[in-house]
Structure 1
């Protein structure tokens, strides 16, 4: 029995030593970890409320029509100018023919009106020439009438002869007045036709604009990539009708680059400044650290840009620490940056200075 007791005592002593050693190791690890956190807290401002950001641009249709071809797939890499979508343009081609015919008709009408202007202007010139002849004839009849009136007073002519001369004078006056009226009417007609010419020219410009608009619709029927990037999800189907201004998809714009938006508490940003260095860790790549610098600070807290910002004047005030979005630009030229995607979570540390 004594040997068994001694054996159990040795086992108990060994278990106590192991437990004691494990407890000391855990305590030491906790002390080191706590010391590390204290040093970090003393040296850095940190936040885990941060994400990778990229410009996500909507691609809009500038024309209406039925989808004839879809030339992109989900998450496909594209380059500027690549064709993404083709709309059916058969209806637009019919409108184009109608617009061309309307323009031809308008031009033909303009030629007719311009010819009418020349004809009316020629008639006006003839009427003006006739006025001079009628005026001369009237003057002659007036002189004749004055002579016969004196002769009648001296009884050198008969009353019948005098009345014949008087009638000729009245005819000359009427003829002169008629020719003047005809000249005035011809001038008015010329002005009217000239005004119609101006209207016809304006109508031609309108038809040209309509034709140009249809040509633009045909051009816009081919929707191309506005820049280099990667497409999002495809939500269209062939044969689907889309409206002008409708979003056909979204693309991540490669040329705009990537950056970090870190939401620091308002108590952390007092000593931060633009251009300050930052250390970035992405959750998807925990063993890799990236470097960046502060590019700008938001002009207001994040809550102020929400659809319904909180109003502390309601009387139900609860003081909550606000956060300010801080934009941080990557300064690395690491190939791993290409693997970063918008929305990835990150942690950001900024040295206190």
Structure 2
């Protein structure tokens, strides 16, 4: 009976749903064990493997990208989101010990190992991430279903674990990074939702990437990454290969190489918009593709920067700026298709239009 019973909203059988729940719990726990960022680096490696296999015509290529890289094993909505939530929980319980310069709940490079409570939290948030993604995809909501799941999952772990949604604002407004530049500190443990111990000091403002927050540099890396994302799509027909390269490059950031830029929220909007503007026809004008990809690369970069200044820099946990930027950028692509500006929406769902 369970093998054939359908879940109409999701369009899958109950048996498949149960398998997804079990796999997502395991994937979220695995993300917690490895650490959120190391798990995401593996997402990049698997995307590269899957897209390279697809380009070569391998039979199982779609399963590598769709079921492993973007599925319950290394899908960011499962493994990364589970790892980030587990870090927030471990820091809340003073069990992190990452020695991170910021609040330890933001230490997404830190592997949490095999502590059962950390694995359970990671697993539960992995299941939540899978559910949000499945519902978003089944309803053809007009954005990247994985990115929106990572974004909403981070909001949920802040609320559930008692963290402030934004945090105390320092300086001359929510977008002001100058307190960090001046090295200003604030006493921790004095604000509702602040999980640090009273009496400790922390930076008054904590930029997501100390080497990547000035507007000019952010815009320029957006131009570079967007152009490359569009070019990669032109040459390979892959929407996701640029994203995979960007994600895999974060291995070096995780290993401590300084000033490695984060670009997956740049290359993916670039390749997606570049493909959408020519209705995913690689034979169309390459110049149009690269120009539009460049514009959307800059757009994705600036969206990520605005998000980090509002929801990361003042808060305690990792609320992923790239996931939010990809959500908004892909929504923009879908909207431009829905209103008739773009002839296609590439891979982005568009409410069945």
Tell me which interval the TM-score lies in, with the shorter structure as reference length: under 0.3
Q: Which has the larger radius of gyration?
A: 1
Where relative contact order (Cα < 8 A, 6+ residues apart) is larger, the structure is: 1
